[in-house]
Amino acid sequence: MFDKDLLKADDKMGNAFLNLQPLVSAARLRDILRVSSGETTLRKVIPDVENCLVRESSISCVNGEVVQNVWLRLRGVESGELELIIKLATRIAPAT
């Protein structure tokens, strides 16, 4: 992550890691359960030494879209957090 400077070089603000495998697994679960409307929590991911999560993250199906809300702790810097909302984009088969 970098901050954007107009008059000098951008400054490195740290980095973070997010494993997308739980999001992909939740999408498979959505397809198996055939969830398509409303809001359903499919999975929760807890912070551990292998991820940069600040707190527990839920993966939900919101009106057919798989969405994960995450707070990530930046690494390589004294402090910093990043809030993200990740939506899984899936390819739609072309109509025949």
Whether 31 is covered by a domain: the verdict is yes
* Three-state SS annotation for 41-80: EEEEECCCCCCCECCCEEEEEECCEEEEEEEEECECCCCC
What are the tens digits of pLDDT across the range 84-95?
999 988 765 555
- pLDDT score at 92: 59
Instruction: Kindly report the pTM of this predicted structure.
Output: 0.74
Average pLDDT estimate for 74-83: 83
96 falls within a domain: no
Calpha distance 29→34 (Å, rounded): 8
- Which one is predicted more confidently, 56 or 36? 56
65 in a structural domain? yes
Whether 83 is in a domain gets the answer: yes
Q: How many domains does the chain have?
A: 1
Q: Does a structural domain hold residue 33?
A: yes
The mean pLDDT of 73-81, rounded to a whole number, is: 83
Q: Is residue 95 assigned to a domain?
A: no
Structural domain range at position 30:
11-87
Is residue 4 in some structural domain? no
Q: How would residue 33 be classed by pLDDT, with cut points 50, 70 and 90?
A: confident
